[in-house]
Amino acid sequence: MKRICIIGGCWHVGIPLGLAFASKGLDVTLVDVNQNAVDNINRAHLPFKENGAAALLKAHVGKNLRATRDAETVKKQDVVVFVTGTPVDEHLNPKIHDVVKVLNAYLPYLNKRQLIVLRSTIFPGVSRIVEEMLKKRLGAANLSFCPERIVQGKGIDEIFNLPQLVSGVNKKAENAAAALFSAIAPKIIRIKPEEAELAKLMTNAWRYLEFAIANQFYMMVEKQGLDFYRILEAMKEDYPRAKHFAGAGLAAGPCLFKDTMQLSAFHNNEFFLGHSAMLVNEGLPNFLVSQLEEKMGGSLKGKKIGVMGLAFKADNDDVRESLSFKVKKLLEMKMAEVLVTDEFVPNTLPLKKFLKEADGIILGVPHSAYRKLKIKKPFVDCWGCWRQK
37 & 175 share domain: yes
Of the residues 161, 191, 221, which one is the last residue of a structural domain? 191
The rounded distance, in Å, linking the Cα atoms of 373 and 381 is 12
Runs of H (alpha helix) within 139-267: 155-161, 171-181, 193-222, 228-236, 256-266
Please state, in angstroms and as integers, the Cα–Cα distance from residue 302 to each residue in 132, 235, 337, 364, 376, following that order. Answer: 59, 41, 6, 21, 20
The reply to whether 217 and 130 lie within a common domain is no
Give yes or no: residues 359 and 228 share one domain.
yes
SS (H, E, C) 341-365: ECCCCCCCCCHHHHHHHCCEEEECC
Same-domain pairing of 179 and 236: no
Could you give the CA distance from residue 149 to residue 169 in angstroms, rounded to a whole number?
20
β 188-190/304-308 pair status: unpaired
CA distances from 267 to 133, 366, 378 (A): 25, 35, 44
For residue 371, is it within any domain? yes
Same domain assignment for residues 147 and 231: no
Residue that finishes a domain, picked among 129, 156, 191: 191
Same domain for 175 and 222: no
Together in a domain, 157 and 209: no
**Quick check: is 386 in a domain?**
no
Number of domains composing the chain = 2
Pair (316, 180) in one structural domain:
no
The answer on 281 and 372 residing in a single domain is yes
For 241, the domain range is: 199-380
Give me the amino acid identity at 283.
G
Tell whether 236 is covered by a domain: yes
| Residue 388 domain flag | no
What's the pLDDT at 157?
Answer: 94
In the chain the first and final C-alpha atoms are separated, in Å, by 58
DSSP readout, 261-324? HHHHHHTTT--HHHHHHHHHHHHHHHHHHHHHHHHTTT--TT-EEEEE--SSSTT----TT-TH
Q: Which of 159, 191, 223 is the last residue before a domain boundary? A: 191
Q: Do 147 and 210 lie in a common domain?
A: no
Contacts of 131 (CB under 8 A, 6+ apart): 141, 143, 169
- The predicted pLDDT at position 279 comes to 96
Domain membership flag for residue 208: yes
Residue at 325 is within a domain = yes
| pLDDT for the residue numbered 101 | 93
Specify if 164 maps to a domain. yes
**Average pLDDT by stretches of 10, the chain with 389 residues:** 92 95 97 96 94 95 97 97 87 86 95 96 94 95 95 91 97 97 97 97 96 98 96 96 94 90 94 97 98 96 97 92 97 97 96 97 96 94 89
Task: Enter the pTM of the model.
Answer: 0.93
∠ Cα 321 304 371 (to 5°): 60
Q: What CATH number is given to the structural domain containing 13?
A: 3.40.50.720
The secondary structure of residue 384, as a DSSP letter, is: S
How far apart are the C-alpha atoms of 142 and 163, rounded to whole Å?
22
Shared-domain flag, residues 181 and 252: no
Is there a domain that residue 63 lies in?
yes
- Same domain for 282 and 154: no
Q: Can you give the pLDDT at residue 389? A: 65
